[in-house]
Amino acid sequence: MCSKSTRQQLLAMTRFDFTFLAGAASQTLVIVPGIDVSAYYRAQLLIRLHASSMSSGQSVVLELDHTLPSDEDPAEFIDRGATGSPLLSVTIDSTHTPPLLRSGEVTGLQAALRVRLVATQTSTPQIPFFVEISVVLVLRDS
């Protein structure tokens, strides 16, 4: 049996510099607010780590959440279920050395997915902290 699949580049190689963050602070960036996944059952998030400078305690997490954007209301409608946690989280920290591929997979997709990046600074600010990443999403119907 042949299954349907597609591969989408969500983010071309991009450098994110978070050195400016205050101690123990974090910053959240929405990479893609809503990707239609209604025809698919399984999603695999693949993150290429091209370059980085990170110290212990610094991390970048890419998260997937179920969402359902509305043409009538610009608010973010996010479903994190009973746990309140993202559908999927893939972490990059100082233990990961480029070049590296990190991935995670989820099943039971709803209508759409939101992709966001959460960077967390160590308690000591002004320590060099950047990542250069690219992101691909592979969707399958089974």
Given pLDDT bands bounded at 50, 70 and 90, which one contains residue 1? low
Residues 59 and 91: beta-carbon distance below 8 Å: yes
- Angle among Cα 128, 91, 37 to the nearest 5 degrees reads 125
Rounded Cα distance, 121 and 55, in Å: 9
84-126 pLDDT, tens digit each: 899 999 999 999 999 999 999 999 999 999 999 999 999 888 8
- Kindly list the domain boundaries of the chain, sorted by start residue: 13-140
Rounded Cα distance, 137 and 34, in Å: 13
Residue 88: partners with Cβ closer than 8 Å, 6 or more residues away: 43, 45, 63, 64, 104, 105, 106
Rounded Cα distance, 52 and 58, in Å: 11
62-72 pLDDT, tens digit each: 999 999 988 89
Q: Does domain 13-140 have CATH number 3.90.1300.10?
A: no
